[in-house]
A = this chain, B = another copy of it.
Amino acid sequence: MTSVQLDEQGSVTTPAGFLAGAIHAGVKYDDPERLDVGLLFSERPCAAAAMFTRSTVPGAPVIVSREHIRAGRARAIVTNSGVANVATGEAGIRNARTMCEAAARKLGIEPDELLVGSTGVIGWTLPIEKICAGIAALQLERDGGSKLARAIMTTDTRPKHVSASFEAGGRRYHVGGVAKGSGMIHPDMATMFGFVTTDAPVAAGFVDSLFRPIVDETFNMMSVDGDTSTSDTVVLLANGAGGGDAIGAASPAATPLREAVFGVSHWLARALAADGEGATKLIEVRISGARSAEEARRAARTITASPLVKTAIYGNDFNWGRILMAIGRSGAAIDLARATVAIGDVLAYRAGEPQSPPAEVALAALRGPEVVISADLGVGDGRAVGWGCDMTEEYIRINAEYTT
């Protein structure tokens, strides 16, 4: 997929000129180990791009962040977990603005240079005093990115952060990212939270067109449960702290830059899928032979969101018919007389005929922490890759008991 070297110790503060910090403010839980307010800051102004949920019920932080990114000069992100600040009326909008103002005051910048993200229970009111006290008290650190990755977690079982680097024009640049996911994950435009930074001098006019297609192939190709969050937010901040000439679409450096941003986004998307609520396995779906890339994407996303595929994978059940069912439901064109379906290296269906691999061979394709589903639809050249996870009793348990 990518030849970029990734560093799983890295994060959003690996690129030069970015600081981050986090603190326990007691938003939802009393456990002092549980970080729940975070802050990411660039010492220099950034070229920025952000994509948000397509939900018709966006959260107050999404509404406020959309306003701010319009000014085109975001250079900090303030976050909390525990309460999502969604469907909270005018008071919710005020609280999102208050978080930006508190962070701006601390950082000595303007409130509209802040983006804001809240994740957690929908419909609850933020404990805004606690959050503002937390913002004031937290320490920004040169290597605070992994703390920020912890502070945005909800039901995630582990923090997700990574970095990459590339050379261009005799200089070494860095790209870093953090993300959180776990449930209500079927991004439509962007995922829950995915924050990516770089010290490369990306031209202001290039940052959106660089990032958007990468988001479409990474964060937007991942599903945990088919439910699209009200708070999905993905951001790229490029601060140019690495020096050198601005990188535009036509620059030679655009290629390694794109590879590094893709590598970081791709790693984070897979990590989000693998840590889906209750998941025991990562599922990678590779579609080829579709009538178009768009149909390939739809087929891949429908497979990764199908409860019947997900439960079969959980049960090590070589029930490939459900894969065809999901393709059929997606609306993607398929020629059953030419189509192929495989799980791992084991053919399940080819050219109109079900295959019958020995039971132990079929089982071997399903065991292990990652299951690859491949399907060629036999009607064109469209391709896509998507990620999901299996569905287990633990998903039910987590979500039957979430707010209480």
Contacts and interface: CB of A to CB of B under 8 A. Distances in A.
B404 A123 contact: no
A225 B307 contact: yes
Contacts of A325: 55, 57, 86, 122, 184, 227-230
B122 A321 contact: yes
B399 A396 contact: no
A42 to B, nearest CB: 31
Given A56-B334, A328-B230, A400-B314, A319 B89 contact: no
B89 A337 contact: yes
A226 B226 contact: yes
A188 interface: yes
Contact of A56 (B311, B331, B395): B331
A244 to B, nearest CB: 42
Interface in A80-119: 84, 86-90
A403 B90 contact: no
A247 to B, nearest CB: 36
A395 B311 contact: yes
A50 to B, nearest CB: 18
A391 interface: yes
A89 to B, nearest CB: 4
A398 to B, nearest CB: 8
A336 B57 CA distance: 8
Contacts of A327: 56-57
Contacts of A354: 87-88, 123-125
Q: Name the residue in A307, A352, A402 with the highest tally of chain B Cβ atoms < 10 Å from its Cβ.
A: A307
Contacts of A53: 328
A181 B10 CA distance: 50
A300 interface: no
A311 B24 CA distance: 29
Contacts of A328: 53, 55-58, 228, 230
A347 interface: no
A57 B334 contact: yes
Contacts of A227: 306-308, 322, 325-326, 329
Nearest to A184: B308
A30 interface: no
Contacts of A401: 315, 317
A132 interface: no
Interface in A323-358: 324-334, 336-337, 348-349, 352-354
A393 B396 CA distance: 6
A329 B400 contact: no
Given A123-B354, A124-B354, A317-B404, A324 B89 contact: no
A228 to B, nearest CB: 4
Contacts of A322: 122, 184, 227
A311 B123 contact: no
B336 A89 contact: yes
15 contacts: A55-B329, A56-B331, A57-B325, A87-B349, A88-B354, A90-B352, A122-B324, A184-B322, A227-B307, A227-B308, A307-B307, A314-B396, A317-B404, A392-B396, A395-B396
Interface of A: 53-58, 84, 86-90, 121-125, 183-184, 186, 188, 225-230, 305-308, 311-312, 314-315, 317-322, 324-334, 336-337, 348-349, 352-354, 391-393, 395-397, 399-404
